[in-house]
Chain A
Amino acid sequence: MVYENPDGIRIGLEIHVQLNKLKTKMFCGCSSDYHNSAPNTHTCPVCLGLPGALPVLNRKAVEAAIKVGLALEGEIAEETQFHRKNYFYPDLPKGFQVTQYDYPIVSKGKVVIEGEDGEHVVGITRAHMEEDPGKLVHIGSIEKSKGVLIDYNRSGMPLIETVTEPDMRSPKEARRFLDKFRNILEYLDVFDGNLEGAMRVDANVSVYWGTRVEIKNISSHKGVERALLYEIMRQKNVIRRGGKITQETRHFDEGRGVTLSMRTKEEAEDYRYFREPDLMPMRVSDWVPGIRETLPELPDAKRSRFIEQYGITDMHARSLTSKIMLADFYEGVCAKGADPKTAATWTADVFLGELNYRDLAISSYDGETIGFIHAKDPQVENSFKVSDMVELVKLFSEGKVSDRAAVEVIRSILDGTEEKTPLQIIEEKGLFKAEDDLVTKAVSETIAENAAAVQDYLGGAEKSLNFLVGQVMKKTKGTADAKTARELIIKELKG
């Protein structure tokens, strides 16, 4: 099947990623660990742009950029250098941003995503290094702002800006690209996506192969998908009414879910790029072989290996490798003797589902414990132990707990305030799987006590069977295996 892209949609992305796993900023020794600090406490003459201060490039930032380039299967430049992008804005303490221009460190890469019609290649035009500006807080709303407060803690943070070809054909593909891209960066250990402002996306989109419109500074993957859905609809409506799409930059209002034209500037910007005279050019292509050797196994390779090594389904493998820490957690569980297939089901389906339900984002894994933070409030932390998952999978495999009880255990661990092992929880709550005769007894009782439901079921109402199973579960306090209960009822009623 070939996706025909009936509306002629082309989407390209520009993604700014903070290399926040580095200890220091791009051009100075200020700590990059500023996220929970008071304003202007992680700054120095260099990142404040004080007159006379000079930049010196962080070697690790260049290494990280090369890592990213290799993971994106791109070319690493023989010679590369920095330029100044000149423009005025209060978050820019030097009046220019140090970035790369015509000699980016990475060019011509690609990322394969699950597209509308199977595997789909998204071209990477380039990836380059640059410094982050400071952060502005408007006093009042943007529209009715009384002034701005400026915090330069973020100023000078190392960024990688990646520019894709306009190869994505739907908002869903754009979102999948971003998920994959973020996943790759986390595998490389150069980036922690959970930190505020760690990834910012500009998207450009056109319909009917027409004029591109840019949507600036969207902060979440969901936001990108929503902004694109809205923008495509808007462009199609304009054309339907006989209008024309004008090339412009729009802003995405997350709250209202709409894109709005940014006030057109009185005159076009002219960034007057020129080579940053305070920094020397780089020749780092000889670093490439060494860095290539240190590259970790990337998501696609890990997925294939999981399928082969653990005999799990492609869907489970995809899900488990969607986060490096989750993949490591899963492997930790398997390494401790849990059955890989069962472990895959419980980790990828149940465990991950419970995390999503609770809005928990995986944030750490140390070989024994996987940690999470609340997506909306990073201060809320939680965790789950490898040993607990191993124990649970074993108890389930041995038929000692029902699936419902096992889910209950996972929920108890995630919601509980005290630290308890699955076994302790099962004992306390009496969740051991009921003996067969207990279930048989409950089935008989249920049939006797629910004549109306029995009649309905025998009359063809399948729903009533579910009700009867529910009653059995109630009687056994959930310790019965639902499947067994169901089979027993059918056997009893239909012979």
Chain B
Amino acid sequence: MITKEDVEHIGWLARIEISEQETVEYMEKLNSVLEYFGQLDELETEDVPPTYHVAEVFNVFREDVVEESLPQETVLANTENKQDGAFRSPKIG
């Protein structure tokens, strides 16, 4: 079971602001889903390897050949927050 503190912690990890009231709502909804996920514990999987990908493919590479980059104007076209060719954001700390 996850607690209110857990919800606050994962909210912080995921950078999603969560209000006091939302915390309780999330806690309830998330717990009902996690309870359902708990059914996997029934399965003995000690010796089962994980499947990350269905395709057994290895060694996919590209060659070290230069391709055209985007023009600066295009790169910055999706934001108003720019200055001197750079993205501008609020201070970090």
A/B: CB atoms within 8 Å of each other: yes
What residues of chain A have their CB less than 8 Å away from a CB belonging to chain B?
22-24, 28-31, 38-45, 48, 56-62, 79, 88-90, 136-139, 142, 145-152, 263, 266-267, 270, 272, 275, 277, 279-284
Instruction: Report the Cα distance A280→B62, complex, angstroms.
Output: 13
Shortest beta-carbon distance, A332 to chain B, in Å? Answer: 29
CB of B49 within 8 Å of the partner chain: no
Q: Mind listing 28 A-B residue pairs with CB under 8 Å?
A: A23-B64, A24-B64, A24-B65, A24-B66, A28-B67, A29-B65, A29-B68, A31-B69, A38-B72, A39-B86, A40-B85, A41-B85, A43-B69, A43-B70, A44-B69, A48-B70, A56-B62, A58-B63, A58-B64, A138-B91, A147-B88, A147-B90, A150-B86, A152-B87, A270-B13, A277-B52, A280-B53, A280-B57
Q: A57-B62, A280-B59 are in contact. Are A39 and B85 (CB under 8 A)?
A: yes
Instruction: Report the Cα distance A352→B7, complex, angstroms.
Output: 61
Q: A39-B84, A43-B69, A263-B93 are in contact. Are A279 and B61 (CB under 8 A)?
A: no
Shortest beta-carbon distance, B11 to chain A, in Å? Answer: 11
What residues of chain B have their CB less than 8 Å away from a CB belonging to chain A?
9, 12-13, 15, 52-53, 55, 57-72, 75-76, 83-93
Q: Are B61 and A59 within 8 A (Cβ)?
A: yes
With a CB–CB cut-off of 8 A, which chain A residues contact B75?
Answer: 40, 43, 48, 152
Q: A39-B86, A57-B62, A147-B91 are in contact. Are A44 and B67 (CB under 8 A)?
A: yes
Shortest beta-carbon distance, A127 to chain B, in Å? Answer: 19
Contact of B69 among A42, A59, A61, A266 (CB under 8 A): A42
Can you add 5 more A-B contacts, CB < 8 Å, to A23-B65, A58-B64, A149-B87? A29-B67, A38-B85, A41-B71, A62-B61, A148-B90
Contact of B58 among A43, A263, A272, A282 (CB under 8 A): A282
With a CB–CB cut-off of 8 A, which chain B residues contact A59?
Answer: 61-64
Instruction: Report the Cα distance A30→B91, complex, angstroms.
Output: 28
With a CB–CB cut-off of 8 A, which chain A residues contact B90?
Answer: 147-148
Instruction: Report the Cα distance A22→B65, complex, angstroms.
Output: 9
With a CB–CB cut-off of 8 A, which chain A residues contact B72?
Answer: 38-41
Instruction: Report the Cα distance A284→B59, complex, angstroms.
Output: 8
- For residue B86, which residue of chain A has the nearest CB? A149
Contact of A148 among B9, B15, B61, B91 (CB under 8 A): B91
Contact of B70 among A44, A60, A150 (CB under 8 A): A44
Q: A57-B61, A263-B93, A282-B59 are in contact. Are A275 and B52 (CB under 8 A)?
A: yes
Residue with the greatest number of chain A CB neighbours at <10 A, chosen from B55, B61, B67? B61
Q: Are B87 and A150 within 8 A (Cβ)?
A: yes
Q: Are B62 and A149 within 8 A (Cβ)?
A: no
Q: Are B69 and A283 within 8 A (Cβ)?
A: no
Q: Are A60 and B84 within 8 A (Cβ)?
A: no
- For residue A23, which residue of chain B has the nearest CB? B64
